[in-house]
Structure 1
Amino acid sequence: MQLRQPKYTYAFLVCLAGSILFVTSDGHLFQSYSTSEWVTIYAMVAAVLILEHYTFQLPPEGNQQSMDSSIYLAAVFTFGVSFALFVLLISSFVLMLYDRSMKWWKHPLNFAIYTFMITGASVAYHLLGGNAGAFDIKHMTAYIFGLTAYFFINVLLVGFYYFLLYKGKLFEVIKTFLTDAIFAYLSTLLLSLVLVILIVNNRSFGLFLFLAIAVLLSHAFRRLFVMYSKISDKVNTDQRTGLYSHSYFEEKLDDYIKESREKDIPLSLALLDLDDFKKYNDAFGHPQGDRLLGFFGQIVKAECEANQLLAARYGGEEFSIILPSYTKEKAFQFIDGLRKKINDTPFDGVDVFPHGCISFSAGILEVNTESFDKSQLVGWADRALYVAKSKGKNTVFIYGEVSNLPQRLEHDINEIEQQIKIFLSKDVYTFKHSKRVFSYAVDMAEVLNLNEENRRLLVLGALIHDIGKLEIPRDILNKKTKLTNEEWEIIKKHVLWGKEIVLATNKYQDLAPLVELHHERFDGKGYPHGLKNKEIPRLARLLCIIDSFDAMTTERPYQDTKSFQEALNELRRCSGTQFDPELADSFIQYIESRLTQDKSANPVGTEAI
């Protein structure tokens, strides 16, 4: 056990504190017990051991619960804290001797935690006037207070351990315990009151009767959890391939993206597509095609599980793999190795394939600070997959690398220009502004030496970034006096309306982040989401600078126009607050170089809302 790890340090400190509490809690711990009391002690120890055997699963993952708490609490309420701690000591010692499946250090940790819970319950019980002995309805408040103390000490101590283990947020971990485990805990704790009544009135037979009920309940909890697990597995698993389902992939991708950003660790995503699967289906029929999918899925599953990766069936003959802690280079090595393994694995009828073997094409994307949401990530990975297909299939391509894929940028520009020409009749300023921002974007793509994909995104995004203004009423869009607060709120919605317009066509979905986020500010005071710093994709941060510069230098009815130099000074002043300082510096240098080359240049002006 390495104490340098937080969870081990925490376990050591809890064990130490629990041991001190155990020794100092009560001076009567090792008093002389009567024969009948020894019988009760051994009966309670046996009951604890039996109930420990009938544990059942509770959230979070790895947390197990048994009804032994009922025994300890009944001992506290009936015989006192010393008696309960003595039962705990003997039970823990026996468990440590025969239960070798648990890591050795967890035994003293559990002993210490139980010591805290038993002592806390006893203190709370006595604070409200409770006395050890027969059940007394007058002390019901004391019983409840004792049960509550026992429960919350358990939640805090165990919850903090899982917080250190899974590196999540403490509040979320505690919330999980409270929401998912509270009913199982409460049923266990309330049974202790039943046991108090049974022990006082019937001694050993009462304990036997309680034990029978507790075992049956524990068994029922276990069966319910098994049933829940089976149902959950069916929902989360694709039955044909044995891989995770598309919906589970979507859910877990969110979690992995969040973890990657919070811990600043690499994360890659791969999309795989079986090559020429339709030919195989046409040649041998769908049942044999389904067998091929299952065969392929099992190989992918085995390879991914061995490397702690998550593989899912994305749909049809497409598959997805989440590669946590993998850079794009490491991801390429794994996926390409998987491709070669698939190539070398025989299967009936593979002669029908052009490559003479089972093959797939794959696109890889490494998640980074430019990634806005999972739909954007999947879109980029899909684009890389398309490149891999265009290269002749049976290959792996990393998103953003230089490719020989024929470019249709000019065609896309012309197509988008036709869409924004509607502004000529509605708002000529927006049309001209879009064209100027587009021009700046073309130059900045060259200045920053953007790769092929990012160049396309920036150029097309700049051209279409204000498309949402088509939804703004003409009288607001062309108003020559200052906008009211209500009108300004309508203007601000153009980014969301623009996103909806862009998402309406599959062809330009990847432009949505630029359209939606070009008014987010580096300091988090922008709109529509108040994102800040690297939460905003890099190209959107750049577009914000270009858009604002053109706004400041263009004559508009409701604002003062700045000279180029005044606008550059404003960029410098707002660098680090409104604008990304690194990108602002690059843009300033670009404009200054243009001014130097052409001192007769006139302000090209603009608008930005």
Structure 2
Amino acid sequence: MGVAQRLIIQLRQPGHTYALLVCFAGAILFVTINKLPFLSYSLSEWIMIYAMVASVVILEHFMFQLPPEGNRQSMDSSVYLAALFAFGGSFSLTILLMGTFILMLHKREVKWWKHLLNFSIYTFMISCASITFYLLGGKVGSFNIQYLHAYVIALAVYFIVNCLFVGFYYFLLYKGKLYQIIKTILTDVVFAYFSTLLLSIVLLILIVSSRLFGLFLLLAVGMLLSHGFRQLFKMYNEMSEKANTDQRTGLYSHSYFEEKLDEYMKQAREKEEPLSLAMLDLDDFKKYNDAYGHPQGDRLLGFFGRIVKEECEPHQLFVARYGGEEFSVIMPGFTKDRAKEFVDRLRKKINDTPFEGVDIFPHGCISFSAGVMEVNKDTYDKSQLIDWADRALYVAKSKGKNTVMIYGVENHLPQSLEQDINEIEQHIKIFLSKDVYTFKHSKRVFSYAVDMAEVLNLNEEDRRLLVLGALIHDIGKLEIPRDILNKKSKLTNEEWEIVKKHVLWGKEIVMVTEKYKDLVPLVELHHERFDGKGYPHGLKNNEIPRLARLLCIIDSFDAMTTERPYQETKSFEEALNELKRCTGSQFDPELVGYFIQYIEDKMFISES
């Protein structure tokens, strides 16, 4: 592969293109501002330059870590700013140039372009701070309290320019929201930067009064502060690691798993990459605990955790103890089939690994059951993903244990849909005393949902979710005052805002019953619009689960074609025209097509 071709491949990466542009712009800015002033420097000025360059190199050696991950900081900024305030921007840029050259020779393990990128960013920081200082009337030389505002604003500009350059680089590297990344940098590093920048004022005063001795004193203080920050960050990491680790197994804790699952799901959506979750449960662990006691049971948990961790780490999988004898594995880049294959290999390795007392187990070895779920366009949030993986785990348990099941693919959950329907119907009968319309509306939407499940040939689990979700979707209206529900005239803005809250109230009601928490997306999201203008979250397109998009169509059609207090009734033809008009805006174009065809077929049959 030629040099030009390799260069083109590198430039296709946004981070590399950004670095090249910054380096190019930084070089132009340096040449523009620093017009060879060193030709006129005196011997004493050269001595000061050499001393400051040495200080920069030493402070660079005492660099410390700052958030976000990979961002490092040294106290060298205090030297550059002090030089700027004492001798001018060109003087400071000369120190930067010589310091960068020495560091390139000394730190050869760092790629040359990273040195140039660092040089260019510092050039912008120093130049912007220098221009700000001069525009605000600041005078180089000794510290003058009269120009305090110039010093403070110049320091702020220096800091902000750094945050913008670093923040945009991490934005290109890791995506996410630029505003959030810069906000994180600002909030997490402001104290360290404030200390660094304040030192520049101290150094300015010391240089003016004591010259090299003052620089030596500042260097000593800077080294001590850098060492202090390094120790503080080390202690923070240790405490964070301890807080995020389950002490019994050495794996990550449940709370940290929940936090990281959000991040992994967000990354998977942004990068459009597969992501799977596996839930693992040690088979018959209680029997082992009862036979050998909790201390030995804890040793088994730790043993199991170590094996799982050893197998998962080479693949950069995130392993956590979910609770009790249940474990979770976040699998970025894994499809459900690849995830099942991996977990099956892990299961066999566990089976073949001896451990004291395993003869008590039915399989004569350590075994676990597992459920696997892959994130897809219908995955609403992490709780839904966990619940579905757990359901697949439940199936694996019901099939004799020591097996792995994929949610919604191999075997469906052994649940009686008829029994669930009867149970939910009892819940919504309370509407009979408060709002007969909502009760009848729920029953009609349920009926449409049963038919649409057939039309779309949904699998057993999706059929269950759609039918039960349709039946209970308006349960939150129980919280709406009776006078608003039955109001004959048009609702006021305040009353309409109360009505809109029924989806969130419904979510809270459904969440109380563990058995039906998988219905939450349909209850909470059936008023989201395809174009993102719905409520409560303003989700759009595939951000809304497919069944919730379908329920929105069914719910809207029934609302249009039946008499309700504050809305005129439409005929079926008028309602179908409204569905067609709102296709692509309010309604999913594909699903609304299926529903329109279903209604038209139904109308044709009734007419004939």
> Are 1:451 and 2:459 matched, yes or no?
yes
Q: In the alignment, which residue of structure 2 is the partner of 1:575?
A: 583
> Are 1:348 and 2:394 matched, yes or no?
no
> Are 1:36 and 2:5 matched, yes or no?
no
> Are 1:461 and 2:473 matched, yes or no?
no
What fraction of aligned residue pairs are identical, expressed as a percent?
75
Letter in 1 for 2:370: A
Q: Is the partner of 1:529 in helix, strand or coil?
A: coil
> Are 1:521 and 2:529 matched, yes or no?
yes
Please, what is the CA RMSD of the aligned residues?
Answer: 2.2
Q: In the alignment, which residue of structure 2 is the partner of 1:599?
A: 607
Q: Which of 496, 518, 542 is 2:504 aligned to?
A: 496
After TM superposition, give the deviation of residue 382 of structure 1 in Å: 0.9
The 5 Å alignment of 1:164-313 reads: 164-313=172-321
Q: Distance in 1 between matches of 2:581 and 2:494?
A: 29
> Are 1:96 and 2:104 matched, yes or no?
yes
Q: Structure 2 vs 1, CA of residues 28 and 139 (structure 1 numbering), >3 Å: closer, same or farther?
A: farther
CA contact (8 A) 1:29 1:85 kept: no
Q: Distance in 2 between matches of 1:553 and 1:63?
A: 59
> Are 1:23 and 2:18 matched, yes or no?
no
The normalised TM-score by structure 1 is 0.93
Q: In the alignment, which residue of structure 2 is the partner of 1:605?
A: none
Q: Structure 2 vs 1, CA of residues 30 and 511 (structure 1 numbering), >3 Å: closer, same or farther?
A: same
The 5 Å alignment of 1:540-579 reads: 540-556=548-564, 558-579=566-587
Letter in 2 for 1:107: H
Letter in 1 for 2:532: G
Gaps in structure 1 of 5+ consecutive residues? 601-609
Q: Structure 2 vs 1, CA of residues 253 and 504 (structure 1 numbering), >3 Å: closer, same or farther?
A: same
The 5 Å alignment of 1:264-413 reads: 264-403=272-411, 405-413=413-421
Mean alpha-carbon deviation: is it higher for 487-496 or for 271-280? 487-496
Q: In the alignment, which residue of structure 2 is the partner of 1:606?
A: none
Q: Structure 2 vs 1, CA of residues 39 and 468 (structure 1 numbering), >3 Å: closer, same or farther?
A: closer
Mean alpha-carbon deviation: is it higher for 475-484 or for 133-142? 475-484
Q: Is the partner of 2:373 in helix, strand or coil?
A: strand
Deviations 1:297-331 (A, max 9, x none): 22222333221222111111111122223221222
Q: Is the partner of 2:22 in helix, strand or coil?
A: helix
Q: Is the partner of 1:321 in helix, strand or coil?
A: strand
CA contact (8 A) 1:274 1:317 kept: yes
Deviations 1:397-418 (A, max 9, x none): 1111141643311111121222
Deviations 1:164-199 (A, max 9, x none): 122222222221222211221121112112112212
Deviations 1:31-88 (A, max 9, x none): 2654433332222222111111111111111111111111122222223333323322
Letter in 2 for 1:465: H
CA contact (8 A) 1:134 1:196 kept: yes
Q: In the alignment, which residue of structure 2 is the partner of 1:148?
A: 156
Q: Distance in 1 between matches of 2:30 and 2:502?
A: 66
Mean alpha-carbon deviation: is it higher for 69-78 or for 377-386? 69-78
Letter in 2 for 1:576: G
Letter in 2 for 1:96: M
Q: Structure 2 vs 1, CA of residues 582 and 474 (structure 1 numbering), >3 Å: closer, same or farther?
A: same
CA contact (8 A) 1:360 1:394 kept: yes
The normalised TM-score by structure 2 is 0.93
Q: Structure 2 vs 1, CA of residues 572 and 190 (structure 1 numbering), >3 Å: closer, same or farther?
A: same
Q: Distance in 1 between matches of 2:484 and 2:133?
A: 69
Q: Structure 2 vs 1, CA of residues 474 and 86 (structure 1 numbering), >3 Å: closer, same or farther?
A: closer
Q: Structure 2 vs 1, CA of residues 272 and 196 (structure 1 numbering), >3 Å: closer, same or farther?
A: same
Q: In the alignment, which residue of structure 2 is the partner of 1:415?
A: 423
Q: Distance in 1 between matches of 2:216 and 2:131?
A: 28
Q: In the alignment, which residue of structure 2 is the partner of 1:107?
A: 115
Q: In the alignment, which residue of structure 2 is the partner of 1:68?
A: 76
Q: Which of 63, 67, 75 is 1:55 aligned to?
A: 63
After TM superposition, give the deviation of residue 255 of structure 1 in Å: 1.9
Deviations 1:531-566 (A, max 9, x none): 332222211111121122222333446544333333
Q: Distance in 1 between matches of 2:56 and 2:363?
A: 64
Letter in 2 for 1:37: E
Letter in 1 for 2:104: M
After TM superposition, give the deviation of residue 235 of structure 1 in Å: 1.5
Letter in 1 for 2:396: A
Q: Structure 2 vs 1, CA of residues 343 and 21 (structure 1 numbering), >3 Å: closer, same or farther?
A: same
Q: State how many pairs are aligned.
A: 600
Q: Is the partner of 1:172 in helix, strand or coil?
A: helix
